[in-house]
Structures are given as C-alpha cells and as structure tokens.
Structure 1
Amino acid sequence: MPLTFTADPAVTPALRDGILTVWTDVTNAGGAVGFVAPVTPEDVRPALLRQMTDMAEGRSRLVVGHDEEGRVAATAFLTRNTHPLMTHWIWLYTVMVHPRHQGKGYGRDLLAEAGRAARAMDGVEAIRLGCRGGLGLERFYASCGYKEVGRVPDAIRVAPGDDRDDVIMLLTLT
C-alpha cells in the first residue's frame, strides 16, 4: 500500500511525536540522519525542534508520508538557502523512511514528492543534499536522478577511527 504524502502539513503533537519516533528508529537502525546510534527521543528532540522553528519561520518545508494506519512513515525537510548568491537552490535534509517500511520503494516516492514540492517554490532550480559515504547512499540518490558533485574525504567522524566522506549530491529541477 503506498504512502500518502503531504507537503507543509499542520504541525500537531501527533505529527511532532511521529517524526520524533521515525527519526529515533531510523538512527537506531543505522540510518545516517545526523546522529549515531544509540539515541533516545530526548537526544533527537532538540534537532526536531530546530526544524519545527525553521518551518514556523518560513525557512523550511516538510514533506511527510503517512502509512495506511495514519502513522508517520517518511519525512524530508526542504530548507531555503539564505546566502544571497545561492537562493536558486535549496537543501534537502533528514530524508527518512521508517525501518518497517524500507525496501518498498517509499524512499523513491519521498524524493519524488520532495522534488514536486521544490518545483512549486519560486525561483528554485535545484536541490542539494549531503550524505554520509560508506553506506551506498550516493548510489541510491543517483538512481533517483541526483548527481554527485563533490566529496570531502573523512569529513564525518562517526566514531574514533571511523571517518566517512561527506558526499554532495545535486538534482537539477529545470
């Protein structure tokens, strides 16, 4: 059963708690979404609250997918670039599909929905994202139309002795 996607949903306690659950569960399943497992919801909450503040102030948009039971199953944040010479592209952050839904094509669906939301934004010509090397993420994003445009070796320290490349990907919308 496909997910039902919404861009810019009303922020309710249920939505907030659903995103927090997905973010925590994705991290604890090994997902590269800003934290290193193990984490608790309280570890993740400050990052979510920063995202929610950015949404409330118009700097960021949320694309969320709900499963057939109405639970948050996938999320991505589109964030405007504030540098005056770079406002023609946006950042895509915290791309997540809950582990119980992975392997069903929902990640592709989420990226397609994020692309639709970005195309609806005035003046946006491209989406840029960063991903952690060593997990095959760049192959997944490439299969969705993104191109690797840069790589900073060993820029992400997951643990002592475990450094990963910061891979920069770009999707041109025009």
Structure 2
Amino acid sequence: MHPIDLGQAVRPDDMTPGRTRELVACWAAVADAGGAVGFAFPPVRIGEVEAAAEEMIAGLDPEYSRLVLAATGGRLVGWLHVGRHRDPLVRHWGTVRRVQSHPEARGLGVGTALMDGVRQIARDEMGMEQLHLGARGGEGLEEFYGRLGWREIGRHPGALRFAHGDRDEVFMLLRPL
C-alpha cells in the first residue's frame, strides 16, 4: 500500500476533469455503501452526484470553501469539504462536510489523514479557530471523531430518517485547532 497523500482544491480550475470523475465515483461508491454523505437512499443516480459535485466545485474559494483530497498511488481514495460563512460574526469557524473514504480503502487511515489535514489547513491556511460537523448517530462516528479530539456538543434525536430506522444527528466541535 502506498502512503496517503493529501492535496487541496481551492479554486474550481484546481479540479481536472479526471479528478472530478474520481471524486464523483468515490462519492457514489460511499453513498451506495450507506455512507452519510448527502444521498440517503442508495443506489444513487450518477447524474445527481455529478450535479452536486459541480455545484460544490463551482463554489471553491481559497478563503471560504476548499476540498481536501486523499490519494494513494495517484488514485483518489477519499475527500472532504470544509467551508465557512462570509459573515464576520462567524467567520472564525468552519464546517466540515462529506467526509468520506472509498469503501475499497477503508481501514487504511484515509479518514484520520483527512481529519488531521483539515485541522491543519483550517488553522494554518484559513485562519479558523474551530470546526463543526454533523454526524449520523448510531454508526460509531462519535467514537471515531472523539479519538481525533472532537467532542459532542448536541444531538437532534431522530432527525435523520432512513428505511432501516431513524438516527440522531450528532453535532460535534473541534476547538482549539
């Protein structure tokens, strides 16, 4: 296994067509495997994933919206999105979304590498002081993020409805970065 290399896309033109196809394929594979990445009812339609990816990529901006990309052997194996509001009242914190590792790369440390990387990028490059995220309860994610320094700050019971049952939405905070 090759080491995990982290990179970033900070502007739309940072994403080549090939890398965008890899991101879409990863997103679809994670969603179809039941991942909490914005598509609740697998199987996903690739056109929906492409549209969501295009919208996210179009909004990339070095100050407000970035993708953190994990690759091994030159192949994309995971990614996440970090963004923040433009309002100066809350500009000191950001939100992490769509944390995912390709199902074929699970157990290789991709998620940990992404979360360590976003912490450093948010602090050192974007000047943030804290990060927030929402996670699907009952999937072991609270423990995963907890091991990385995140703490639960709230919970919305039964907020997420799936065919296999309702799940809590768990709100987590990483502070200080």
If the length of structure 1 is used for normalisation, what is the TM-score?
A: 0.91
Alignment deviations for residues 4-55 of structure 1 (CA, whole Å, 9 cap, x no partner): 1112262110111110000000011111111121113212122111211210
Please give the alpha-carbon distance, in whole angstroms, between the structure 1 residues aligned to 2:93 and 2:25.
29
Paired residue secondary structure (1:120): helix
Tell me: CA distance 1:57–1:5, structure 2 relative to 1, closer, same or farther (3 Å).
closer
Tell me: CA distance 1:104–1:122, structure 2 relative to 1, closer, same or farther (3 Å).
closer
Please give the alpha-carbon distance, in whole angstroms, between the structure 2 residues aligned to 1:124 and 1:84.
12
Please give the alpha-carbon distance, in whole angstroms, between the structure 2 residues aligned to 1:19 and 1:35.
15
Report how many residues are paired. 172
Q: CA RMSD in A?
A: 1.7
What is the aligned partner in structure 2 of residue 46 from structure 1? 51
Give the residue type in structure 2 aligned to 1:117.
I
Aligned partners of 2:63 and 2:126 also within 8 Å: no
Gaps of 5+ in 2: none
C-alpha displacement at 1:116, in angstroms? 1.2
Q: Does 1:163 align with 2:166?
A: yes
Paired residue secondary structure (1:55): coil
Question: Share of identical aligned residues, percent?
Answer: 37
If the length of structure 2 is used for normalisation, what is the TM-score?
A: 0.90
Aligned partners of 1:7 and 1:117 also within 8 Å: no
Q: Does 1:3 align with 2:4?
A: yes
Point out the more displaced range, 97-106 or 75-84.
Answer: 75-84
Alignment deviations for residues 56-86 of structure 1 (CA, whole Å, 9 cap, x no partner): 5853101101111x12111011111234321
Gaps of 5+ in 1: none
Please give the alpha-carbon distance, in whole angstroms, between the structure 2 residues aligned to 1:151 and 1:91.
16
Please give the alpha-carbon distance, in whole angstroms, between the structure 2 residues aligned to 1:50 and 1:79.
14
1:19-168 mapped onto 2 (5 Å cutoff): 19-36=23-40, 37-56=42-61, 59-68=64-73, 70-159=74-163, 162-168=165-171
